[in-house]
Chain A
Amino acid sequence: MASQTLRRRLTALLLTTLTAASMVACSGATGQPAAPSSSSTADAGQPKTGGTLTYLESATWNSLYPPAAGYYPNGGVVNNITDRLLYQNPQTLKLEPWIATSLPKVNKEATEYTFTIRDDVTYSDGTKLTAENVVKNIDLFGKGDNSRALAVSEAINNYQGGEVVNPTTVRFRFSKPSPGFEQAVSTITSGLVSDATLALDNDGFGPGNATKIVGSGPFVIDSEKIGTQISLKARPDYDWAPPSLQHQGRAYLDGITFVVAAENSVRTGSLTSGQGDIARQIEAPDEKSVKAAGLSIVSEPTNGVTNSIGLRFPSPLLSDIRTRQAIFAGIDRQAILTALFTDSYPLATSPLAKGAPGYKDESAAYVYDPAKATKLLDEAGWVAGSDGIRVKDGQRLSLTFNLALPQPRSADVITMIQEQLKQIGIEVTTIPGDWAAQVAASADLTKVQAYHSMVARADYDVIKSQYHSANRNVLQNLDSVSGKVNDPKLDALLEKVASSPQERDRAAATAAAQDYLTTQAYVLPLFEEPQVYGLQTYVQGFSTESVARPNLYSVWLNK
């Protein structure tokens, strides 16, 4: 009996592995990262309306303030309850009309944007989406409101203010060229919400108040259980989907229930045992069991800064370029990917992902060559001490890495780097402790010299957000004590990305910034971080927005 079951399981496993392998082969042949679910829709027939989808999340949402929607658990909800001025096609990353009836008129300097908006859109509380309301939205996101602890949106820079030109026309002004604004109003961090929602304070956007968050999107928040569950229901009168979509009118689903299943094995097991329809964040080791159960794995690219190690050059340990180059040559990235990840995680070839605007291949700089690494360290004057760790002027070559807790398997990645760098005489330690401890230590150059992180955003601006001293400052280019910028050239290059009015110039500036980060050996990219979803086979029409947050508008259940 048992052996029979076992044999049946093995056969099933073999079959699914073969299917999976052939699928991988197919997608490899076309070279398209595009949504695999669209292909399955083709043979599934006409979409059916109805049913409630159970969506398994790894963490609970913590705010529905649109600029906070960069956090995936927040974004999953915000993306499905709000509309935006523009729609970024997730395949081409081109901007298309949505609430705005066409792309905006932009002045030559990219400091003034004029949008014409639809006049037939209503929020789910019955109020109209007006020009005044749109200006109020962007004013709040562009300026923030400190008295209500509402932050400025990361995507909107140099914002001066907006005005209503006439009932269907709005204009926004900027103090400096801000070419990233057009894409910014297409991201979920610029999701439009009603006047009453805009009046809430930070706490009002938090758990316990979800049903008061009102958007004009295809779904409406119906109920919440703090910390475990949030339920959305379809809006029957929704009729303003992006015009380029084939699907118009109401969503196919009647409702969505987001359920938190934080523990990885519980989330995966719930999916494979049929207790959920979609699960976000299937960890690499769990992909196999999802495929073995006959379910599909959808891996979507995040089109921004790749999962990388930033080498903080202002640290005396890393100030010599030869030391940094030695680290580049001393880390076997392919070995890390092979040991820890799956095909869903492509090897990175630049600080930016292949799908990111302005991407340039820099892979020649990341060749694993331990002999070269040893030679570079010798040249830089690092001499092996009694314990094998190199020393110079009495200082041990001991680097501390943060653990990027939101990123997949960060601790395992750093452990492998630790083993590899030990071979060339570099000691690696990590910051112990939870998220708050990581955050506190990471802002301090004396505590963390190598910073593991990534950013998802499908706009040229993303590289500046990550590396500019006045933004995330992940390289600690800005000395927090003296206020001095260590490498002004890096900042200048990044500013050009964000302030060149012409797209061609932004692309060129982005390429220059990637070149500089690579030739200076500031950033070692590891892999292109995807969002990995597990789907029941009857889930059709699943797609994601430009940085892989779920679009559930066109999803339907084929059962």
Chain B
Amino acid sequence: MPIARRVASAVLVILLAFTATFILMQSLPGDGVLARYQNPELGLTPEQIEHLRSVYGVDRPVVAQYLSTISNYVRGDFGTSLQSGARITDLIATALPQTLVLAATGFVLAVALAAGIAFLATFPAMSRLKSAVRGLPPLFVSVPTFWVGILLIQVFSFGLGWVRVIGAEGIEALILPAITLAVPISAPLSQVLIRSLDEVQESPFVDVVRARGAGEWWVLTRNVAKNALLPTITIAGLLFGELVGGAVVTEAVFGRAGLGTLTSQAVANRDLPVIQAVVLLAAIGFVAINLIVDLLYPVIDPRLRKVRAA
């Protein structure tokens, strides 16, 4: 029963996201066909453009477009891009792996970075570094991703020549974008981790552990960290959205052909079929990640496990 309810609510979330996108995109001026064909460089007459709009069906009533999109989706037909005419399944099949690799690497880096910052900021032996390190998360969250990307390119690619931006393959193409993405993601992660580490440090059981003669390192890694992890994992789930947003900017700066580039081009061109598909994908991802986070709670915290079992 709880599983059925969870699935139902997931479907509802996805449908709502889908519908909201549809309404938002419809309320923007212009449509995909206009954006593509009213380009003055093509010089089409208004009649030709009207005809093209009816060929693509964008002149139909909004409700009709909405219903036909949903029924096509149910049949597994995601349609073609209004801008390029390419099949959306092809576009996503090319873009998704690129973004997944970037997001995964960026996320792992962000976690490592956040853990590093949090431990430095809370480990008592490092007290002199504390305030400097504690200043990092607010700094990281306030610098624009765009700027970080350009800065990294200017220094490490154009200046030092360590990695190429043009014609790079594999790890070379991944390293700078992943760092760019990791910076804003690591900020909230480390902030939450620092705060919960602080809280746990002050709880009575830590004093007990200390009284038994445990060293600071032991306390931090064995007792405090484990207890401080729950809020951090919750945040990690929520950060998925940030990850998608960060990917849009990062991919644009580095010219990577991922979901982010696909999305930003699609929005600029009112390429509704592509946007719908991407939103659907993102919503599914979001729901799935949060489900995983939910399932992880009892694994990390035995107290939650007992409640479930009872």
A208-B84, A226-B257, A270-B165 given as contacts; is B28 within 8 A of A436 (CB)?
yes
| Cβ contact within 8 Å between B86 and A472 | no
Q: Is the CB of B52 within 8 A of A203?
A: no
Please, which residue of chain B has its CB at the minimum distance from the CB of A404? B40
Contact A154 to B42, CB < 8 A, known contacts A149-B52, A275-B164, A275-B166: yes
- A144 contacts B by Cβ under 8 Å: yes
The answer to whether B76 has its CB under 8 Å from any CB of chain A is no
In the assembled complex, B37 has its CB within 8 A of some CB on chain A: yes
Q: B40: which A residues are within 8 A, CB to CB? A: 453, 455, 472, 474
- Min distance, Cβ B198 to any Cβ of chain A, angstroms: 40
Best-surrounded residue of B48, B165, B265 (most CB of chain A within 10 A): B165
Would you give the shortest CB distance from A132 to chain B, in whole angstroms? 27
CB pair B36 A275 closer than 8 Å: no
Contact partner, A276, options B52, B166, B261, Cβ 8 Å: B166
A266 touches B253 (CB 8 A): yes
Residue contacts A-B, CB under 8 angstroms, 28 given: A54-B167, A62-B84, A147-B55, A151-B42, A151-B44, A202-B85, A204-B85, A208-B94, A226-B90, A226-B94, A227-B257, A227-B262, A227-B265, A257-B167, A259-B166, A260-B255, A262-B252, A266-B150, A269-B154, A270-B166, A273-B157, A273-B159, A273-B161, A275-B157, A433-B29, A436-B270, A439-B34, A474-B40
At the interface, yes or no: A371 with Cβ under 8 Å from chain B?
no
B95: chain A residues within 8 A (beta carbon): 226-227
Q: Which residues of B contact A206 (CB under 8 A)?
A: 81, 84-86
The answer to whether A435 and B166 touch across the interface, beta carbons within 8 angstroms, is: no
Measured in the bound complex, the distance between the Cα atoms of B155 and A273 in whole Å is 11
Contact of A70 among B38, B41, B46 (CB under 8 A): B41
List of B residues within 8 angstroms of A269 by Cβ: 153-154, 157-158, 165
Chain A contacts to B: CB under 8 angstroms: 54, 56, 60, 62-63, 67-68, 70-71, 144, 146-147, 149, 151-152, 154, 201-209, 225-229, 257, 259-263, 265-266, 269-270, 272-273, 275-276, 406, 433-437, 439-441, 443, 453, 455, 465, 470-474, 480
List 9 other contacts, CB 8 Å, given A206-B86, A225-B257, A226-B90. A63-B85, A149-B52, A151-B37, A151-B52, A226-B257, A261-B165, A262-B252, A266-B253, A436-B35
Contacts of A229 in B (CB 8 A): 257
CB distance from A228 to the nearest CB of B (A): 4
Most buried by A among B36, B41, B267: B41
Q: Which single residue of chain B is at the shortest CB-CB distance from A441?
A: B29
**Chain A proximity of B285: nearest CB distance (Å):** 20
* CB nearest neighbor in B for A268: B158
What A residues does B254 contact at CB under 8 A? 266
Contacts of B56 in A (CB 8 A): 149
> With an 8 A cutoff between CB atoms, is B203 at the interface?
no
Give Cα distance in the complex from A415 to B80, angstroms: 38
Q: Complex: how many Å from CA A473 to CA B47?
A: 13
Residues in B with CB closer than 8 Å to A273 are 157-159, 161
Cβ proximity bits B246-259 to A, threshold 8 Å, 1 near / 0 not: 00000011111100
Minimum CB–CB distance from B248 to chain A (whole Å) comes to 13
Once the chains are docked, how many angstroms separate the CA of A435 from the CA of B28?
A: 12
CA distance A465 to B94 in the complex (A): 39
Residues from chain A with a CB closer than 8 A to the CB of B80 are 203
Among candidates A71, A434, A465, residue contacting B39 with C-beta atoms closer than 8 Å: A71
Min CB gap A190→B, angstroms: 14
Given A149-B52, A270-B166, A434-B268, A263 and B42 contact (CB-CB distance below 8 Å): no
Residues B43 and A228 in contact, CB atoms below 8 Å apart: no
A406 contact from B41, B94, B166, B256, Cβ within 8 A: B41
Distance, CA A465 to CA B39, complexed state (A): 13
In the complex, how many residue pairs between chain A and chain B have their CB atoms under 8 Å apart? 165
Do the beta carbons of A437 and B28 come within 8 Å of each other? yes
Query: Quick one: which of A228, A470, A471 contacts B256, CB cutoff 8 A?
Result: A228
Chain A residues contacting B84 (CB-CB under 8 Å) are: 62-63, 203, 206-208
Please, which residue of chain B has its CB at the minimum distance from the CB of A201?
A: B85
Best-surrounded residue of A144, A229, A261, A435 (most CB of chain B within 10 A): A435
Measured CB to CB, the closest approach of chain B to A441, in angstroms, equals 6
Q: Say if the beta carbon of B99 comes within 8 Å of chain A.
A: no
How long is the Cα–Cα vector from A263 to B37 in the complex, in angstroms? Answer: 24
Residues of B in contact with A (beta carbons under 8 Å apart): 28-32, 34-46, 48, 51-52, 55-56, 80-81, 83-87, 90-91, 94-95, 150, 153-154, 157-159, 161, 164-167, 252-257, 261-262, 265, 267-270
Cβ B166 vs Cβ A56 within 8 A? yes
Q: Are B269 and A436 interface neighbours, CB within 8 A?
A: yes
| Interfacial chain A residues near B81, Cβ < 8 Å | 206
- Which of chain B's residues has its CB closest to A457's CB? B43
B253 neighbours in A (Cβ, 8 Å): 263, 266
A156 smallest CB distance to B (angstroms): 11
B203: min CB distance to chain A, Å: 48
- Looking across the interface, which residue of chain B has its beta carbon closest to that of A438? B30
CB A500 to nearest CB in B, in angstroms, measures 21
B51 proximity list for chain A (CB < 8 A): 146
Cβ of A263 and Cβ of B52 under 8 Å apart? no
The answer to whether A440 and B91 touch (CB under 8 A), given A149-B56, A225-B257, A480-B46, is no
- On whether the beta carbons of A62 and B164 are closer than 8 Å, the reply is no
Q: Which A residues lie within 8 Å of B91 (CB)?
A: 208, 226
Asked whether, in the complex, the Cβ of B255 is within 8 Å of the Cβ of A262, the reply is yes
**Interface contact B28-A203, CB-CB below 8 Å:** no
Q: A149-B52, A204-B85, A259-B167 are in contact. Are A439 and B30 (CB under 8 A)?
A: yes
Q: Which residues of A contact B166 (CB under 8 A)?
A: 54, 56, 259, 261, 270, 275-276
A139 to B44, CA, bound (A): 17
B255 touches which one: A62, A71, A261, A435 (CB < 8 A)?
A261
| B165 A266 Cβ-Cβ under 8 A | yes
Q: Which 7 pairs show the lowest CB-CB distances between chains A and B? A: A203-B85, A154-B43, A440-B30, A436-B30, A206-B85, A436-B35, A206-B84
Q: Given the complex, which residues of B lie within 8 Å of A406, measured CB to CB? A: 41
| A440-B34 in contact given A154-B43, A269-B158 (Cβ < 8 Å) | yes
In the bound assembly, the distance between CA atoms of A259 and B256 in angstroms comes to 10
Contacts of A63 in B (CB 8 A): 84-85
Q: State how many angstroms separate the Cβ of B160 from the closest Cβ of chain A.
A: 10
B44 (CB) vs chain A CBs: closest residue: A151
A71 touching B41 by the CB < 8 A rule?
yes
Q: CA of A467 to CA of B40 in the docked complex: distance in angstroms?
A: 12
CB neighbours of B48 from chain A (8 A)? 144, 151-152
Assess whether A259 is in contact with B29, with CB atoms less than 8 Å apart. Answer: no
Q: Is the CB of B150 within 8 A of A227?
A: no
A292 to B157, CA, bound (A): 18
For A436, what are the chain B residues with a Cβ–Cβ distance below 8 Å?
28-32, 34-35, 268-270
Residues of A within 8 A of B157 (CB): 269-270, 273, 275
Query: Across the interface, do B150 and A263 meet the contact criterion of CB distance under 8 Å?
Result: yes
Q: With A and B bound together, what is the CA distance between A437 and B256 in angstroms? A: 26
- Which listed residue (B28, B42, B150) contacts A67, Cβ 8 A? B42
Inter-chain CA distance A229–B255, complex, in Å, is 10
B255, A259: Cβ atoms closer than 8 Å: yes
